[in-house]
Amino acid sequence: MARSVILFLAVLLVGRTAWAEEIPAGELANAPSAARVAALQSEAAKAGWPAVAQQLRGMAVGLYEKQGAQAQAWYCLYRWADLFGQTEAQAVTRWTTAVTRAKAAHANMPVDARMRANPLADFWPPDLQAYAMTSPEFSAEFFALYTPYDQPAMVISILAALWQRDPAGFKDYGNLAIAIAVVYDVPPPPDWPHGQVSPEALTRKLLPPADIFASFVKADRAGDTLQHLRKLSAAELKFVVDTGAAFDELAWAQKSFRMPLAQLANVYSLVPSRPERAAGGVLVWPQATYRLPDILKAGGIEVDRAYFAAMVGKAKGVPTMLFRGAGLDGRHAWFGFLDDLGRWQFNCGRSTEEKSMPGYAFDPQTWTTLPEHELAFLSAGFRRLPGFKVSLMHEQFAELYFSAGDYPAAAKAARSAIKSEVRNLDAWNLLIAAEGRRGAGPRPVESALHDAAVAFQHYPDLEAGFKGRLAGSLRARGQIAAAEELARVPAPKHQVNQEDLGVRKAQEIMEHSMENDSQDDRIRTYFNVLNAYGRGAGLAFFDQIVQPFVESLLKADKPSIALQAIGQARRTLTVAPDSLLDAKLIVLTERAQQQAAQ
């Protein structure tokens, strides 16, 4: 028997329960039956879901090594048992830790999350447990989308509410239910869907989950949607359910706009443009309410037009995104939607000038900004292909091996995942982490980082990230020249929907310098970075590079150097008169001048 199977099954040799001994090989080759799930529920009532999960984990791994893809259904069975066995306190604590580490917390997240000791299994009635555990398609969809950044107790609670309200609808629209659960688990942030409307005009509250589920099911069955919701994945549907419009607005949009899906892009131009508002500095919606009919009647600046088009698309059952452009002040905005061929159209309402600017869109599952590579992945659509599903299966077992401490097996499974789909980013990160834990020194890790950079050469933010990690490893073992050669590779220019890669590279260099260099070397590094990456940059470079460095100089009581740093930044960055960047530079200059005068 393979060593990794022994690692997982050794825990089963003592106290192995009868149900685990009785499962014949023929049954393991198929999806779990209703009778088997009922037996598992009975066993969990006596021994607890954690004990059941422990044995299912070993069985799934054994199947993976012997039969490959046939293990997927039993892997999902293990995941349900593992989730059910976590207490609310355990699950929420892990979620809080993950969100904090990812810097994904925001001001609207509840601070008084309940931390009870009851298991998550208590949130679900037995019939919902049985449905999930005997439904391979529902389970695979859920665990493909569910992440450590989803609030587990709320996700489970929302799914339970949707099931109890309409079990038949839940079965027909399972992907819609999953999408609502992972989007509605926490409230959206204060600047969602954009910052150019007051909280009085737009409450920024998501609709009741059971009601929005019923609303979309009704609309889809009535033919009022432009996409067939049952055919969309949960990952696509999360861009439908993240609506800021009220129910009556959704109904209005469904009845008022009867165009084919191919013409959805034209909705942007239906809202009259009000450039005089932007010219007059009125960047916040000036009226009392921010409703779709209000916007259509009054007109608006670009962000209002993009919001209107995106919300109309969602009302019609179409995945849409609102993109905010440079400055995030509402003067540059557009939207994107998923067309009838399953391709994302990202440039609806985007002017020629704006195509040279990065675009920022919310991921409604985490309420963080979608990274540029994720937008490119969505555009490519490879996650719908069979190869990615196979890749995901290998990645999931690589995670199991890694968590069990079998790093060689984790690396092997991660490589199988990459072989099936080279763009599986999580598999690459697992491979790199596993190589780092094997104790073979830095070279295997560096080799994996190099291969990852090559694999993602068409995704500049990922390529830069892997090269940066490779440079850090080389530098740590004294290969300074090789590390510097990587650092000298110029940051790529903006492409459609990309973030500022120059800012990221500059930030990486500055962070390393701030942690490792002397004060004089830090100052030299700052001016070099400003010259190399700051030309033509804007507010993001100021926020991530200039201001933190100047703050460190003021803290070190070096206001004269701080003034030099600010002055050079003003000469290097693109600073429009009376812009937000201009104002921030003025404020920072005044602070440095006041400190210098003391």
pLDDT tens digits in sequence order for the chain, 598 residues long: 344 443 444 433 333 454 555 677 777 778 889 999 999 999 999 999 999 999 999 999 999 988 777 789 999 999 999 999 999 999 999 999 999 988 888 888 887 666 788 999 999 999 999 999 999 999 999 999 999 999 999 999 999 999 999 999 999 999 999 999 999 999 999 989 998 999 999 999 999 999 999 999 999 999 999 999 999 999 999 999 999 999 999 999 999 999 999 999 999 999 999 989 888 888 899 999 999 999 999 999 999 999 999 999 999 999 999 999 866 677 789 999 999 999 999 999 998 777 777 788 999 999 999 988 999 999 999 999 999 999 999 999 999 999 999 999 999 999 999 999 999 999 999 999 999 999 888 999 999 999 999 999 999 889 988 988 898 888 888 888 888 887 665 544 444 333 356 677 788 888 888 888 888 888 988 988 887 788 778 878 888 899 999 999 999 999 999 999 999 999 888 888 767 788 788 989 999 999 998 8
Residue at token pair 């097996």:
409
Do 199 and 348 share a domain, yes or no? yes
pTM: 0.80
Do 214 and 340 share a domain, yes or no? yes
Residue 512 belongs to some domain of the structure: no
Q: Residue 535: CB partners within 8 Å, gap ≥ 6?
A: 572
Q: Residue 591, class by beta-carbon neighbours within 10 Å (0-12 exposed, 13-18 middle, 19+ buried)? A: middle
Q: Which of 352, 370, 388 is the last residue of a domain?
A: 370
Question: Quick one: how far is CA 486 from the chain centroid?
Answer: 28
Do 77 and 217 share a domain, yes or no? no
Do 233 and 338 share a domain, yes or no? yes
d(CA 514, CA 206): 42
Do 216 and 74 share a domain, yes or no? no
Q: Residue 244: CB partners within 8 Å, gap ≥ 6?
A: 192, 193, 202, 204, 307, 311
- Residues 153/123, Cβ–Cβ less than 8 Å: yes
- Residues 40/74, Cβ–Cβ less than 8 Å: no
**Nearest residue to 434 via CA among 459, 397, 388:** 397
The pLDDT assigned to 20 comes to 53
Range of the domain at 73: 3-85
Residue 593 belongs to some domain of the structure: yes
- Residues 368/104, Cβ–Cβ less than 8 Å: yes
Domain count of the chain? Answer: 3
Q: Which of 85, 106, 124 is the last residue of a domain?
A: 85
Q: Which of 28, 50, 85 is the last residue of a domain?
A: 85
Do 235 and 365 share a domain, yes or no? yes
Residue 34 belongs to some domain of the structure: yes
The pLDDT assigned to 70 comes to 77
Residue 325 belongs to some domain of the structure: yes
Following CA atoms 496, 498, 499, 501 in sequence, which dihedral angle do they give, to the nearest 10 degrees? -110
Residue 345 belongs to some domain of the structure: yes
| CATH number for 311 | 3.10.620
Residue 416 belongs to some domain of the structure: no
d(CA 88, CA 123): 10
d(CA 398, CA 411): 7
Residue 129 belongs to some domain of the structure: no
Do 363 and 233 share a domain, yes or no? yes
**Nearest residue to 43 via CA among 83, 35, 9:** 35
Cis-peptide, bond into residue 193, ω within 30° of zero: yes
Residue 551 belongs to some domain of the structure: yes
d(CA 174, CA 200): 35
